[in-house]
Amino acid sequence: MRNSLPTFALLGKLADAIPGFADLLVVEHSNLVDHLLMGLMYPNEGIKAAVCYLYGKLYSSPVGTERLSAHFEERLCSLFLNTLGCAQTKELQVNCLGLLKELLKSDHFVSILMNNSKTEEETENPDFLEGENPLPLVLKKLLLTRDEMLQAASSHCMAAVLVHSPSRYAPAFIHADVPEFLFECLLCKSEILIWSVYCCLLLLTEERLFFSKCHTVYGIESLVRSLQDVLQINNVELHKQGLLLFTEILKWQPMEIKLFTNRGVCIEAIGVLMETVNCPVLEVAVEAVRAVAAFLRKDHLSSPPVPYEELQKLLEAALKRCADLSPPQSSKRHAGDRLFSVSQSHPANRNHSRVSQRQCQFLLNTLESFRNACRLAVEFQDDFMAQENAFTAPNSESRDTLSNFSEFLLRICDSLCIPVVMSYLQRAVSLSVAEVFISTLNTLFTVVPNMRNKFSKKLASSSFIRLTLELKARFCSVQSNPVLNQTCSSFLCNLCLNLYSATEKRRTSQEEQEMSELLQKGLPQLNYTIAESLLLLSETPEPFSLDQSLCNQQHCFILLLYFAYTLGDRFVPDAELFLAIRNFLLSAQDRGDCPPPHVLRAALYLLAVCHDKGKALDLRSLCTIRRILDNLTDLSLVYVHCPFLLKFFLHYPELMGRFGHQVLQLWFSWEDCKQTEAEEPDFDTSDQLNSASPLLPILKSNSSILLILLDLVYSSSVKVAWKVLMTLRTFLERNEDILVCDLLRSRFLQILQQLLVESSSATLQANSNLPVLLSLLFLVQLRSKGMRELDSTDFKLLHQVSNLCGKCRPRDTGLLQPSLNFLYWSLHQTTPCSQQRAVAVLLSNVSLLELLQKVLEHTWLRSPPSGPAYLSSEDALLCSGWLLVASLLLYQHRYNTEVHQTLSLDLKEVLNAVIFRDKKPILLLVSIMQFLRAALRQNFSSSLLVIVGQNTAQGATQPQPSSLQDAALHPLATQQVFSLVVSLQNLLVHVQLQKDLVLSQAVVACLETLVEYLHVKNQDVALHVASQPWHRFLLFTLLNGGQKSFLQPEILRLMTLFVRYQSSNIISQKEISQILQEAAEANLAELPEATSYALHLFLCQIQSSHYQVEPVQSGTIQTLLDRLLGQRTTCVKHQDIVCLGNVAVSLSHIGD
């Protein structure tokens, strides 16, 4: 047999060199195979190597494979395996592997080699490996050699076996622990060996036993390190094969077996993925993002701490790579066209198509990665260990948290993901891209729960409702693409529910549940174009049909339009939509169907929004809407807070008469819902004006709405009443229609009459809206500029308001303040004839005068404030009380009106209130001084007023004066007069500091009245008071502290007073000349009204006094008087009644 070596070698070379020679040997010299078997049994590895080489050539031909099949099964198989297993020389090992490679091409030989005759139970039993040197152990032995060529050949043979049937043959290799040695081989430098191992392992991943035996856990670190090394080699196919293996392992690794037990390996894996995502070769990057998608699983990343920052960088890199890809160059197509419709005949076109396909695949894989990242964030929300980095140092903030990662996902979706996908879909449409994209957006709703509503609003305002409807219409009709249809339907359902939660402040869980069920039923069936869907709204179901699918589709489409329109995406022409919604409501009414409140709310909103672009509704449509709304238990169920709906209801008398009150009530009450729940609603005027602005044009065109608003003031809550008040105030300020005021006064009278008849005193005091109503009544009266004759309505209002005051207590400031303001206005802004009747009405009301008595007495009970004086509500009521009593004193004396009830006051208390101010508010001092002036004018002898002395009861004997001088001034005492004068002088200095015109007018007028009183009672005292040297010092103080001009009302009136009483020691010819010169040089038209009036009094006093003036000055005085007279006839009268701190004040009453 030793001599046969040359023969075997020659035959092998001839078979290699001559085609058909191997077939000839098999057919013509069949006895040769017996000699070959003997050669394999001969203990010489050189002969065995030659024999294996020749066998390899024989089995490489189809004829040899067929003829020698039985020979191999019966005689050669065991002998060959034994030879391969015991081979020591490389030549024999190589030739055996060559023969094995040829044999493994045949499924029959593979089955024989893998001992397929054993049962499956035996195959799965590891003990069978201890038998006759099976192939897995033989190949495993070759892997243990240090020869990379033999290792590559061995792994190649394994792959050749597995490729026939991984499920049949993989268990044998796995039980032989071959995967461990394959992973170890990955640490080599041979590209061929690495490629072979990648291929073999890739086939093994198809068998679950490969994972359950934890071979992947053992080898993942070797694989990651191998990929790191491979990436340094310029071998694209090797990169792709390694990433493919990595992807399959990541994808099929069981969740219960953690793949990355070492966080460092996980970080290295992310680094590998980052590097491959940025690979300039797009094919490699495509495989990389597939691996990223498989990598982003909770079980792969659940070992704390989760590397959120690295994951952010990885996702950002993938999305930026998508953005950097050049878009397809084909022209923009409709979404229904084929994505790649260019001709495939030209090589350039075929190359362009391949590039486009790779770009599409890269985008798809990236979207899947991003979707998996979103799902990962949602899954980690229930894992406390994954929420935050547990290894963060104390007192330091970690950015590596789930919260930051979730916000990153939302942020990068907005900045990168959505723009990239939308840009791609504008050029070409891929169903898979669209499905994954919509699914990703749907998942993002739950990634950051507190941002869900804001994210939903942004999607809806960015036309995503329209986009999703178009996708469904183009690709999901006729029950096609069910996965895309379900994805789009689920997205629209969640989007609508989120928008409902975000926009409907008064939502209910029951309505939300009903809406959810409706959307889940109807959206999968709503696969029509926009035009078809509009026609769908006009369709009517078959009579007696139990199928609700048409109604569900109609309701779903209306809800989608509603949420899109509320956020500005008006993708349907308004006129067409208006007509479609009208037809829908008519159809629903015709079949006796009432849509659910949330659907009806959406329909009414759409009808109102499109109303200006559509034709006016006919009577049939209005009756239909009215009948539908009449079936509702509460109009708020269908109310939407927007100006369009308000305008819609108030536009048609048929709707306004029935629902106007409710709609306006809801309009004002829902203003609070615009604030966050944490905020307390306030009554800021600017906010109320903003809320009123949509209503003002409607009010101007239909003033009858004012009556509804007036009813709201009376019947609504206090907050709503105040808002209505602000609206009416704004409207009254901007519109001068007196007919509106007449209309309002008549309605006011009806309300007050009803109140006083139906309510007791306690009920009136508890009515929180009545003060608002009275405030509005005063505002209406305040609009009348100048004097006005009071009509019957005015007198009836005066009577009712005075009766109302009589039923109040002094502490009911809310009711009394506007009421006293109204009474005060009625006395001062009317003609003398009406004034006389108004005084009679008020003085005949005993309960009113008793109330005023109590109010005035509260002045002495008032404790001085600890801080700066300010006008509280109690002080404001005191001011109004003093001013009203002062007016009644004045006009009762003027018209000699009959008195039914007197007022009694302690004069000393009144004087002390002015002399010792005790931080009283300025307006309260002004009011008390007005009363004091009225009493002084009547010499304290009014039939309405009873003056009592200190510590004396009403009606008791008054204390006698202590001297003749006091007797002349009675009931004043000389010391009181001097103290009062000093106090008034001090107040004038205070005026100079505070620049308070009302106080200055009141002080000067009080000083004038006091001197007049003294002049009547005792001229010596009057002249003494008028000639005090302190007055001259006071004048110079006023001149030096202010404008340094004589043309100031308080200075001119003081000068007039001193001229009248010939106080030459205070005012000289020089001062008079200066005043005349300054007046002659001034522009009289620009002087304030009070200054012009004071100057006129001064000039008249100079003319009528005995002062010696030069003829030139006399001419100047006359000229100035003529100019002032002309000025008074042409000047515009200003509003006489003003509100100072909620107190009505007549400027003419104060300054007269």
Instruction: Please give the pLDDT value at position 736.
Output: 66
689: pLDDT confidence band, cut at 50, 70 and 90?
very low
Please answer whether residues 934 and 1006 qualify as being in contact, where contact means their C-beta atoms are separated by less than 8 angstroms.
Answer: no
My answer on whether omega of the bond before 305 falls inside 30° of 0, hence cis, is yes
Cα dist. 1116→522, 1052, 1075, 1102, 1122 in Å? 93, 17, 11, 12, 10
- Return the DSSP state at 1132: P
CB 1137 within 8 A of CB 822: no
Query: Based on the number of CB atoms within 10 Å of its own CB, is 1121 exposed (0-12), middle (13-18) or buried (19 or more)?
Result: middle
How far is 380 from 508, CA to CA, in rounded Å? Answer: 30
Residue spans of beta strands (DSSP E) within 331-430: none
| Section 670-676 average pLDDT | 50
d(CA 203, CA 167): 9
Burial of 1040 (0-12, 13-18, 19+ CB in 10 A): exposed
With a CB cutoff of 8 Å and minimum separation 6, the contacts of 386 are 302, 304, 306, 380, 402
Is residue 1 pLDDT above 60, yes or no?
no
Cis peptide before 543 (omega within 30 of 0): no
Are 705 and 712 in contact by the 8 Å Cβ rule? The answer is: no
Q: How many CB atoms lie within 10 A of CB 670?
A: 18
Q: State residue 830 phi and psi, 5-degree precision.
A: -145, 175
**pLDDT band per the 50, 70, 90 thresholds, residue 461:** very high
| Single-letter code of the amino acid located at 834 | S
Residues 809-827 have a mean pLDDT of 92
Average pLDDT (30-44) is 75
The closest of 69, 723, 591 to 583, measured between CA atoms, is 591
| Half-sphere exposure for 876 (CA within 13 Å, toward CB) | 21
The pair of three-digit structure tokens given for residue 993, joined into one six-digit string: 């500091």
Query: Cα–Cα distance between 942 and 890 in angstroms, integer?
Result: 9
Distances (CA, A) of 793 to 409, 749, 781, 805, 829: 69, 7, 12, 18, 15
Residue 543: pLDDT band (50, 70, 90) is: low
Gap between the Cα atoms of 494 and 485, Å rounded:
14
**How confident is residue 497, by pLDDT bands cut at 50, 70 and 90?**
very high
Euclidean distance between CA atoms 1034 and 1031, whole angstroms: 5
Residue range 735-770, pLDDT digits in tens: 766 567 777 888 888 888 887 777 677 777 777 778
Task: Give the model confidence (pLDDT) of 935-952 as tens digits.
Answer: 999 999 999 999 986 444
Alpha-carbon gap, residue 1105 to 1099, rounded angstroms? 10
Largest CA distance in the chain: 174
Q: Supply φ then ψ for residue 903, to 5 degrees.
A: -110, 135
User: Could you give the CA distance from residue 592 to residue 1144 in angstroms, rounded to a whole number?
Assistant: 59
On the question of pLDDT at 856 being above 90, the answer is: yes
- CA contacts within 13 A on the Cβ side of 400: 17
pLDDT for res 949: 65
pLDDT in tens, 246-301: 999 999 999 889 889 888 899 999 999 999 999 999 999 999 999 999 999 998 88
Task: Report the pLDDT value the prediction gives residue 614, as an integer from 0 to 100.
Answer: 76
pLDDT 10s digits, 379-389: 998 887 877 76
Arithmetic mean of pLDDT over the chain? 84
Q: Which of 82-86, 344-348, 371-375, 1055-1059 has the weakest average pLDDT?
A: 344-348
Confidence of residue 329 (pLDDT cuts 50, 70, 90): very low
Whole-model pTM: value is 0.75
Banded model confidence at residue 865, pLDDT cuts 50, 70, 90: low
How many separate helices (H) and strands (E) can be counted in the chain?
62, 4
For 899-929, write each residue's pLDDT tens digit: 999 999 999 999 999 998 777 888 999 999 9
- pLDDT, tens only, 178-233: 999 999 999 898 999 999 999 999 999 999 999 988 899 999 999 999 999 999 99
Q: Is the pLDDT of residue 1082 over 90?
A: no
Q: What is the DSSP string of 736-790?
A: --HHHHHHHHHHHHHHHHHHHHH--HHHHHH-SSHHHHHHHHHHHHHT--S-B--
Least Cα distance to 423 among 510, 319, 274 occurs for 319
